[in-house]
Structure 1
Amino acid sequence: MSFRVLVTVPLPTKARSLLERSGAEIVYPSRFHALGDENSAAFVLEAGLKTEEALAILKREKPVDAIFTTLICKINKEILDTAGPQLKVVSTVSVGYDHISLDECWTRGILVGHTPGVLSDSTADMAITLCLAAGRRIPEARQAVLDGSWGDWRPLWMCGMDLHHATVGIVGLGRIGQIVAKRLKAFDCNLIYSDVIRNEAAEKEFGLHYVDFDDLLQRADFVLPHIPLLPETRKLFNLKTFKKMKKSAIFVNTSRGPVCDMDDLYTALKTGEIAAAGLDVTDPEPLPPSHPLLTLPNCLIVPHVASASIRTRLDMFDLAVRNTIAAINGKPLPSEVKPPSAKSKL
């Protein structure tokens, strides 16, 4: 079956081949053709289309049957209107789908696909990386090498927090939270968690202990949220929350930027309410270079790269392609964002 798909991001070789073999006519800007494959620097540096450019291409190239996109392109009502009534699917190369107007899609019968699962291990790896780097003050230690302040050995200089044998509090024991727990078990950590749903099977498997949220905050040496962005989780971590933590606590966030109030985090770190933070996600993204958090030596921030391993990113493209092809062929999506009514029937 032939179909037309607007692609807002350069496609790796395998993903492009899968689409073309399935009958896809790929619609995207001419500059993408000149980038080469995923091994070229130009390909790696190309972010893809934002909403305005995608809309302009749609106006010239409509109609399309599918939209294949990423987080930086907002799939809003105007995009959906312009794509035409035959649009069957919006497939995003991401776990998150805040950039897609879900209600508009569902009202029109448009399926929405995303890519959870394939990046869970890489995200868990990043959470552990940030625990170790923030806990052992790696950015400060590197700076000491660069600026020459590394001098004679001093007994307590650059001492930080061990991860092994620490009490680690996991907020949200979903797929990624459980993988993090699995890794932390090897560090002989005391693992506690809070969630709206208790998971006794995971408790037995990973040696977890179920506690309420406030108890977790008070006891944990490391606090790791692994929660979705919902109205009730937005700015869940704020100054009131940080004040309940240990002064020595380390906050590590690889979930969603807006679950943390960034200004309150700055205050907590600056005033010593908590010891350090490691962030893969921020609010907003990208974080402006002028943001006060970037002035703090005890705050390590990386640019939302938890899934940025070559294997994981290629797997994300592969799943997004399979979501697209399934929708076009009238088959169930391997990974669909379902309307609330559909979820309740599962």
Structure 2
Amino acid sequence: MAKFKIATPAGASFTTAGGGYEYEMEPLDGMDAEIVEGPTDEDGFIRFAQDADAIYGKGMRFTRKIIDGLPEQCRAIALGSVGVDSVDVVAATARGLPVTNCPHTFIEEVADHAMALLLSSFRRVIEQDRMVREGRWREGRPALLQIPRMMGQTLGLIAFGHVARAVAKRAKPFGLRVIAYDPFIQELLMVEHGVIPATLEEVLTQSDFISMHAPATPEAEGMLMEKHFRQMKKTAIFINTGRGPTVQESALIKALQEGWIAHAGLDVLEIEPPGNNNPILGMPNVTLSAHTASASARFDPARKLHVGRELALILNGRWPMSCVNPAVLMSSKLRRWQPISMERGPNS
């Protein structure tokens, strides 16, 4: 039996079930640790994890019940995703459990995808493709003669985290003026990225393209409502590669149906996958992808190696690189931790 047990639900998130844990185990080599799969239901996982030293969170929600049921020896919950909405972070903090994520792993891919949705929505790529395939060749040019030139238009970013900054960098060569709203980011940081700080109202009313990047936090849930879509330009294109629940989908549907905005490019939805009765699926003024913005050939290796590195730090009694609830450092339960902020590996 290994010295350290890392408990994880059976199967995998994002990818097909199985696939092994070679990438996660690479940074753990020589530590006498093992990743062991257990049940995916609350009660079953709690029983299974009673001797766990750490949790590899994937494939299920880690509720307060599960977190409160973890043993005293459990040191952290490590996630292989950017979002942490699968974990009750408040409950984890109360227990003194650090929750780690992969904040820098998928930035470039998501930014690329946001620009792809923006460009394809603006230039009506799917509509143009359909016209050609249906023998409506002569309709293509007249349709595009109705839209303006992209250069000189305004892109508004809601939230200015790492992905939004990467989107701003990509938007500049297209001649877009970029503005951003984020009450948690210093305005000088936006200026350093060539972005104009703005209020939410200014982003909504001035932008020709609005890109949503707010994280899936309780405060941001349902952040964009009917009143916000009513403030947008009738020609506006709304892009969301962040989290579906940050937008009240019924309000977005109404805005698209009644012409408050022109188009939406969505990688995320309120409920995923959507039911067949979701009106969005039948709307010609919506471009969709299946929550795939972060996907690329490096997706699994990058995130799994990061999880392994975090687990190696944690099991060595060191502070993880990407803790989303650093307030646990103040907990008396964490006297065993060595909070080395610049640490990059268990043996460095």
1:241-289 per-position Cα deviation (integer Å, ceiling 9, x unaligned): 1111111100001112111111111111111110000111111222223
- Choose which of 289, 292, 307 in structure 1 pairs with 2:294: 307
In structure 2, do the counterparts of structure 1 residues 106 and 213 end up closer, same or farther at CA, with 3 Å as the change threshold?
Answer: closer
The answer to whether 1:122 aligns with 2:109 is yes
1:50-83 per-position Cα deviation (integer Å, ceiling 9, x unaligned): x41x75366357411111122x411124433554
Instruction: Report the residue type matching 2:55 in the other structure.
Output: I
Higher mean alpha-carbon deviation, 84-93 vs 311-320, is at 311-320
- Choose which of 30, 37, 40 in structure 2 pairs with 1:28: 37
Taking only the aligned residue pairs, the percentage that are identical comes to 29
Instruction: Report the residue type matching 1:325 in the other structure.
Output: A
Instruction: Report the residue type matching 1:151 in the other structure.
Output: W
Q: Contact 1:4–1:65 at 8 Å: present in 2 too?
A: yes
SS in 2 for 1:73: coil
Cα shift at 1:111: 2.0
The root-mean-square deviation of aligned C-alpha atoms, in Å, is 2.5
Match of 1:326 in 2: 313
In structure 2, do the counterparts of structure 1 residues 164 and 22 end up closer, same or farther at CA, with 3 Å as the change threshold?
Answer: farther
- Choose which of 220, 245, 253 in structure 1 pairs with 2:207: 220
Higher mean alpha-carbon deviation, 15-24 vs 222-231, is at 15-24
Q: Contact 1:114–1:335 at 8 Å: present in 2 too?
A: yes
Instruction: Report the residue type matching 2:142 in the other structure.
Output: L
Match of 1:17 in 2: 26
For the residues of structure 2 that align with 1:311 and 1:211, how far apart are their CA atoms? Answer: 35
For the residues of structure 2 that align with 1:161 and 1:255, how far apart are their CA atoms? Answer: 27
Instruction: Report the residue type matching 1:69 in the other structure.
Output: G
Q: Contact 1:193–1:211 at 8 Å: present in 2 too?
A: yes
Match of 1:260 in 2: 247
Instruction: Report the residue type matching 1:181 in the other structure.
Output: A
SS in 2 for 1:59: helix
Match of 2:57 in 1: 69
In structure 2, do the counterparts of structure 1 residues 177 and 151 end up closer, same or farther at CA, with 3 Å as the change threshold?
Answer: closer
Instruction: Report the residue type matching 2:23 in the other structure.
Output: K
For the residues of structure 2 that align with 1:300 and 1:162, how far apart are their CA atoms? Answer: 20
Cα shift at 1:106: 2.3
1:169-216 per-position Cα deviation (integer Å, ceiling 9, x unaligned): 11222222211111111111111122214422431x443222221122
How many residues matched? 320
Cα shift at 1:20: 4.7
TM-score (norm 2): 0.83
For the residues of structure 2 that align with 1:253 and 1:327, how far apart are their CA atoms? Answer: 34
In structure 2, do the counterparts of structure 1 residues 162 and 229 end up closer, same or farther at CA, with 3 Å as the change threshold?
Answer: farther
Q: Contact 2:150–2:176 at 8 Å: present in 1 too?
A: yes
Match of 2:4 in 1: 3
1:209-229 per-position Cα deviation (integer Å, ceiling 9, x unaligned): 222211221111100122223
Cα shift at 1:325: 1.4
Match of 1:45 in 2: none
Instruction: Report the residue type matching 2:27 in the other structure.
Output: L
Q: Contact 2:179–2:197 at 8 Å: present in 1 too?
A: yes
For the residues of structure 1 that align with 2:314 and 2:45, how far apart are their CA atoms? Answer: 22
In structure 2, do the counterparts of structure 1 residues 301 and 109 end up closer, same or farther at CA, with 3 Å as the change threshold?
Answer: same
- Structure 2, unaligned runs of 5 or more: 13-17, 331-340, 342-348
Cα shift at 1:156: 1.4
Cα shift at 1:119: 1.3
Q: Contact 2:96–2:328 at 8 Å: present in 1 too?
A: no
In structure 2, do the counterparts of structure 1 residues 149 and 273 end up closer, same or farther at CA, with 3 Å as the change threshold?
Answer: farther
Q: Contact 1:27–1:61 at 8 Å: present in 2 too?
A: no
- Choose which of 168, 171, 190 in structure 2 pairs with 1:202: 190
Cα shift at 1:331: 0.5
For the residues of structure 2 that align with 1:307 and 1:161, how far apart are their CA atoms? Answer: 30
SS in 2 for 1:186: helix
1:85-141 per-position Cα deviation (integer Å, ceiling 9, x unaligned): 221111011111111122332232222111101211111111111101111122222
SS in 1 for 2:298: helix
- Choose which of 227, 234, 240 in structure 1 pairs with 2:227: 240
TM-score (norm 1): 0.84
Q: Contact 1:89–1:328 at 8 Å: present in 2 too?
A: no
For the residues of structure 2 that align with 1:232 and 1:77, how far apart are their CA atoms? Answer: 18
Cα shift at 1:238: 1.9
SS in 2 for 1:28: strand
Match of 1:283 in 2: 270
For the residues of structure 2 that align with 1:155 and 1:143, how far apart are their CA atoms? Answer: 13
Instruction: Report the residue type matching 2:8 in the other structure.
Output: V
SS in 1 for 2:35: strand
Instruction: Report the residue type matching 1:275 in the other structure.
Output: A
How does 1:28-67 map onto structure 2 within 5 Å?
Answer: 28=37, 51-52=40-41, 56=44, 59-60=47-48, 62-67=50-55
Q: Contact 1:202–1:208 at 8 Å: present in 2 too?
A: yes
Cα shift at 1:318: 1.3
Q: Contact 2:92–2:98 at 8 Å: present in 1 too?
A: yes
